[in-house]
């Protein structure tokens, strides 16, 4: 395996860095404070082809591999985790679900709009009572003539309010049965479909998280994705890929925190010398650098398998589990290196610290990743 970034990745990394410096860095704290979801930023990212990173050009996307996808998400997250999270959720979940499991008609109808960010996508699996136990969902979809009728609600949905279209998994069969759920496409404005409470979060505050409510929501029969009963398995496959992007998000946050701490440690003087000269600080930096490089290699391993259409359930879970825990550890040590200043909002590390925590929870907690990994090992 080639460990160098390919030419495309180098070009994309530079493009994303330039974009993030100009369009994100000047505003990210303001969006964080006010919990504003800056839709206009995603429209611009769409113009750059970053909202349909792995969607083929024939459907309006960039047609890149997962290597480029890791570059996009991690470079954005080095500046702002919230924007990185929304890019990851839009690409992997809603857009990815329609691309990997939708019919040709559905792909032609929705992907060009999603890949260009004309439409923002949401994806609904989780419910109030079913987070880790995703298969136990209570939202139902019942066939009535030419329509499916949905009732229930989905929780913690990225772009739940601002999303123009959502892919939603609902119960169509027996509760607990692995073939008891199906996936549907639901457009904003459909009668009976609305957004509920917006969450007030610790971190990732500029990435909108909202409830979806279905009240006798009737959608055309053809909005079913794939066949009846496939919803849970489709969702698991989508999460296999999505976990690579959350790993990339974690990697970006860890790199952002590490780079800030490295720079500060060389500038900040105590006892007559830069604090980087003290072994206690230098060793923290050594640990951070080691773990970041290990996380990156794990991510590229999972991406390599995904690019080659090989099963990567275990590898993506390992990469996501490790990278997200590294993000939390690295951000924690970065705050420590900044000392009192790290605890203020004048420096970026407190935000990396708050944002990083989501990565060990979203798209499957670290504990769920360990279930996935151990089941794969013990099969
Ligand atoms: N790819 C394809 N199929 C998969 C799969 C995968 N990665 N993982 C599971 N399946 C299949 C299984 O093979 C099984 O099929 P059969 O019944 O035909 O044998 C079926 O799905 C049920 O799988 P399993 O028995 O493992 O389901 P569990 O209810 O035990 O759940 C976990 C498994 C815990 C792994 C799953 O519920 C999960 O990932 N939970 C976390 C959800 C999550 O990440 N939510 C965050 C969303 S934020 S966007």
What spacing in Å lies between the alpha carbon of 236 and ligand 1's midpoint? Answer: 5
> What integer is the mean pLDDT of 332-339?
98
How far apart are the C-alpha atoms of 378 and 55, rounded to whole Å? Answer: 34
pLDDT of residue 350: 98
Per-residue confidence at 2, pLDDT binned at 50, 70, 90?
confident
DSSP helix/strand/coil, 219: strand
Three-class secondary structure of residue 246 per DSSP: helix
Residue 3 has pLDDT above 80, yes or no: no
pLDDT, tens digit, 9 for 90 and up, residues 55-84: 999 999 999 999 999 999 999 999 999 999
Is the shortest distance between the CB of 266 and ligand 1 below 6 Å? no
Tokens, residue 77: 């997250």
Q: Taken in order 343, 348, 351, 352, is the CA torsion positive or negative?
A: negative
What pLDDT score was predicted for residue 5?
Answer: 85
Across 283-322, b (16+ Cβ under 10 Å) vs e yields ebbeebeebbeebbebbbbbbbbbbeeeebbbbbbbbbbb
Quote the CA–CA distance of 123 and 183 in Å, as a whole number.
Answer: 10
| pLDDT over threshold 90, residue 1 | no
- For 160-212, what is each residue's pLDDT tens digit? 999 999 999 999 999 989 999 999 999 999 999 999 999 999 999 999 999 99
Nearest to 286 by CA among 245, 321, 219, 333: 333
Cβ of residue 236 lying under 6 Å from some atom of ligand 1: yes
Average pLDDT of span 223-246 = 98
Per residue in 116-171, pLDDT (tens digit) is 999 999 999 999 999 999 999 999 999 999 999 999 999 999 999 999 999 999 99
Residue 104, pLDDT above cutoff 80: yes
Ligand 1 in reach of 125 Cβ (< 6 A): yes
Band (22; pLDDT cuts 50, 70, 90): very high
Cα 48 to middle of ligand 1, angstroms = 34
State in Å: Cα 233 to ligand 1 middle.
7
User: Rounded mean pLDDT of 247-276?
Assistant: 98
The set of catalytic residues is 363
Q: What is the pLDDT of residue 4?
A: 83
**Ligand 1 atom with least separation from CA of 239:** 44
CA dist., res. 293 & res. 291, Å (int): 5
Question: Does residue 363 line the site of ligand 1, with CB under 6 A?
Answer: yes
Residue nearest to atom 47 of ligand 1 (CA): 363
Query: How many CA atoms lie less than 13 Å away from 351 in the CB half-sphere?
Result: 25
Question: Which residues partner with 184 through β-bridges?
Answer: 168, 224
DSSP-derived secondary structure letter, 57: G
pLDDT at 291 over 80: yes
Q: Whose CA is nearest to atom 48 of ligand 1?
A: 363
Mean pLDDT, to the nearest integer, of 90-97?
A: 98
- Which of 163, 181, 179, 161 has the alpha carbon at shortest distance from 171? 181
Among 127, 135, 160, say which to mutate for ligand 1: greatest number of ligand atoms within 8 Å of CB.
Answer: 135
* Confidence bin at 366 (pLDDT 50/70/90): very high
Average pLDDT along the chain: 97
CB of 178 sitting under 6 A from ligand 1: yes
Q: Is 364 in the pocket of ligand 1 (CB under 6 A)?
A: yes
- 14 within ligand 1 shell (Cβ under 6 A): no
Nearest CA to ligand 1 atom 35: 372
């Amino acid at each position: 395996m080639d460990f160098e970034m390919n030419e495309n990745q180098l070009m994309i990394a530079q493009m994303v860095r330039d974009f993030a410096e100009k369009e994100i860095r000047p505003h990210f704290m303001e969006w964080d404070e006010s919990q504003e979801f800056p839709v206009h930023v995603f429209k611009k990212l769409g113009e750059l082809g970053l909202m349909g990173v792995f969607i083929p050009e024939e459907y309006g996307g960039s047609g890149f591999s997962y290597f480029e996808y890791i570059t996009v998400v991690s470079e954005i997250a080095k500046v702002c985790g919230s924007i990185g999270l929304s890019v990851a959720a839009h690409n992997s979940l809603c857009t990815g679900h329609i691309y990997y499991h939708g019919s040709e008609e559905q792909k032609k109808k929705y992907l060009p709009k999603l890949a260009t960010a004309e439409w923002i996508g949401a994806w609904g699996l989780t419910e109030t009572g079913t987070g880790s136990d995703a298969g136990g969902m209570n939202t139902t979809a019942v066939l009535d003539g030419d329509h499916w009728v949905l009732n229930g609600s989905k929780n913690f949905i990225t772009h739940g309010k601002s999303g123009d279209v959502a892919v939603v998994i609902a119960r169509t069969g027996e509760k607990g049965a692995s073939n008891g759920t199906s996936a549907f496409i639901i457009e904003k404005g459909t009668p009976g479909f609305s957004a509920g409470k917006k969450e007030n979060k610790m971190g990732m505050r500029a990435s909108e998280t909202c409830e979806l409510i279905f009240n006798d929501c009737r959608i055309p029969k053809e909005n079913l994705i794939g066949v009846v009963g496939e919803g849970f398995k489709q969702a698991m496959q989508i999460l296999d890929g999505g976990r690579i992007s959350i790993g990339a998000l974690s990697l970006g946050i860890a790199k952002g925190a590490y780079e800030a701490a490295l720079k500060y440690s060389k500038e900040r003087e105590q006892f007559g010398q830069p604090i980087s000269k003290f072994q206690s600080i230098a060793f923290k930096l050594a640990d951070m650098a080691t773990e970041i490089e290990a996380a990156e290699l794990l991510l590229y391993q999972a991406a390599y398998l995904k690019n080659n259409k090989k099963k990567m359930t275990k590898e993506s879970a390992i990469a996501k589990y490790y990278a997200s825990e590294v993000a939390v550890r690295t951000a924690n040590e970065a705050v420590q290196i900044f000392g009192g200043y790290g605890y203020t909002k004048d420096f970026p590390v407190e935000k990396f610290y708050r944002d990083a925590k989501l990565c060990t929870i979203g798209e499957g907690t670290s504990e769920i990743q360990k279930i996935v990994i151990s089941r794969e090992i013990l099969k």
